[in-house]
A and B are shown apart, each in its own frame.
Chain A
Amino acid sequence: MTDWPQIRPAGLDGLLVSFGDRLSEPANRAALAFRAAVEGSGWPAVQECSTSLVSTYLRFDPLAETPQALHDDVQTLLTSRNWYDAALPDGRRLWRIPTVYGTEMAPQLDEAAQEAGLSARDAIEHLSQTRVRVQTIGFAPGQPYLGELPEAWNIPRQTALTDSVPVGALTVAIRQLVLFSVSTPTGWRHVGQTAMRLFRPESDTPFILRPGDEVLFPQVTPEELENMRTDADGGARAEVLE
């Protein structure tokens, strides 16, 4: 890890601190912990912080502090400890989100199973019993990237986009799951359908999942899922992880 972490400019008003060039659990934890540390530092020029899979992003006012000065502050904080052995964020939860696999509700299960070299039954067993973690929230509001699935699921995204997947679609590629918070075109394969709304702008808690949360997607029948649609959380339940 000698080349990492790296600080790179992201335009004139952004810095990106990356803890690796591929997804790994230590790099993911480092990014989350470093973001918390930056926010705790209360640097006045920093206007917003975020994390992606393995990086922390800082947006700042370059007229209040020069990029070089902020770079130096970041460098100092970066060398103050080993971020790769940071703990996961506090207050993490385990979610169980009921999911229909396959059927016309999630039409690409068979295709994805084939890509992974699995029978449909084995694919459902993997997907419904693997406990995955929210690695980052991104692309669309409240939308999680979850991982990591067994190696068999290191399957590429489709080259052609699916025109649209519905809200609550569970999709798969590159050993990750994405649970869609909006209806959008995507290259990820649609293998499951949930009744979960991850972005609720009208609610007191508009964003449901947080990085570090863990998720299971237990299998239910289409009829069971329909009955859960009246539930605010689409039948999902959370418990606090100790």
Chain B
Amino acid sequence: MSRTLTIHQAGPGVTVQDMGRPGYLSLGLSRGGAADTRALAEGAALLRQSPDCAVLEMTGMGGTFEVDHDTRIALTGAPMQTAIDGDPIAWNASHLLPAGARLTIGAARAGVYGYLHLGGGIDTDPILGARSVHLAAGLGARVAAGDVLPLGDDSGAETGLALPPDDRFAGGTVRVVPSLQTGLFAQSEIDRFEDTEFHRDNRGNRMGVRVVPPGEGFAPEGGRSVLSEIIVPGDIQITGDGTPFVLLAECQTTGGYPRIGAVLPCDLPRVAQAAAGAQLRFRFVSAEEGLAALRREAESRKGLAKAAHPLVRDPATIRDLLSYQLISGVTNGQP
């Protein structure tokens, strides 16, 4: 029997997302997909299912949800205050959501994008090979109160797993490598770029985020204009007023501003998850160091399934213990 998720209330930026829609760059459609792909891998590990399952991405705040059959869920990404029928439950963990119970997900306590994973994944009709909503391209729409989403068949049964918390929700330093027009910038300008502590501007969405320096902006030598070129997530464009703009999953596919560098794909979730006001720094690394970082990230994602461990041993006390942990910050679920 097919199962559904009912949305009783939704924040302003809740969309169905997955790993995106690669292969349409030459037709002007960017890959899109989840802003924080590591969170998809974490949810997949917690539910022991494929990272290709579609999820709900919640920008800044969640909503109120209900399922019509007992359903496994997992919560990853930006931590949000969450409860089942008023009882707090742990973030970065999997749970059983009973049929008819109210799942409430509040505002993010850190970071931007929280994720609600469901056993079997969200089973909306794929468009061009993926279920992810691409707002900029007009593919699909935000989830709204009253929507009912179909869920896929869930072959798993395990819940009550947790992953250790991650530190990618408060800005920090991200690694970059040279990009197309890095050579147009003087070394002194690149040095200054690396020495600058930026803050993430209020302006930002799934297409990209603006990062503001405390002092003056950046400019290529001689203010050279460049031909419009292919753009991909991670590229750091220096816009007309000298302010960097880091492109994310739903960016346009071509752009005419010079690019000072490109954020490593494994560090892009840290940029996406930097909330307005969060501090960000950029550090150039060699191709070798960058490749080593990508390799470590790939191995770390592979190891998530093993890292997911039981929260508690006694299922009867799960909710109380979890709420205790949520408040105290005690981790790893060891009572």
Interface residues of A (CB under 8 A from B): 8-14, 16, 21-23, 35, 47-55, 57, 59, 62-63, 66-67, 136-143, 145, 181-182, 199, 201-202, 206-207
Contact = CB atoms under 8 A, between A and B. Distances in A.
Nearest to A176: B228
B32 to A, nearest CB: 11
B232 A59 contact: yes
Contact of B26 (A137, A139, A143): A137
A52 B22 contact: no
Interface stretch (B8-16, B162-170, B286-294): B286-294
A9 B178 contact: yes
Given A8-B180, A52-B230, 11 more contacts: A11-B235, A63-B291, A63-B294, A138-B28, A138-B228, A139-B255, A140-B136, A141-B28, A142-B27, A182-B137, A201-B127
B227 A53 contact: yes
A53 B139 CA distance: 26
Report the interface size class on chain B. Answer: 35 or more
Given A140-B136, A140-B137, A141-B27, A16 B230 contact: yes
B265 A23 contact: no
B25 A59 contact: yes
User: 5 closest pairs, A vs B, by CB?
Assistant: A11-B262, A138-B254, A50-B26, A141-B29, A50-B25
A8 B229 CA distance: 12
B298 A139 contact: no
B305 to A, nearest CB: 19
A11 B234 CA distance: 8
Contacts of A145: 228
Contacts of A35: 26
B269 to A, nearest CB: 16
Nearest to B255: A139
Interface in B217-232: 227-230, 232
A25 to B, nearest CB: 15
Contacts of B227: 21-23, 52-54
B128 A201 contact: yes
Contacts of B24: 141
Contacts of B287: 9, 12, 67
Nearest to A27: B227
Given A11-B179, A16-B180, A59-B232, A201 B28 contact: no
Most buried by B among A11, A55, A137: A11
Nearest to B293: A12
A107 B326 CA distance: 57
Contacts of B332: none
B177 interface: yes
A138 B177 contact: no
A88 B2 CA distance: 50
A16 B23 CA distance: 16
A204 B255 CA distance: 29
A206 to B, nearest CB: 6
Contacts of A21: 227
Contacts of A66: 291
Contact of A10 (B26, B139, B230): B230
Interface string B86-100: 000000000000000
A22 to B, nearest CB: 6
A62 B265 CA distance: 11
Nearest to B177: A12
9 contacts: A50-B25, A66-B291, A137-B26, A138-B253, A139-B254, A140-B253, A141-B137, A142-B27, A201-B128
Contacts of A8: 180
A12 B291 contact: yes
Interface string B133-169: 0001111000000000000000000000000000000
Contacts of B262: 10-12, 14
A35 B253 CA distance: 16
Contacts of A11: 177, 179, 232, 234-235, 262, 264-265
Most buried by A among B24, B26, B291: B26
Nearest to B290: A12
Nearest to A22: B227
A139 B252 contact: yes
Contacts of B192: none
B230 A57 contact: yes
B136 A137 contact: no
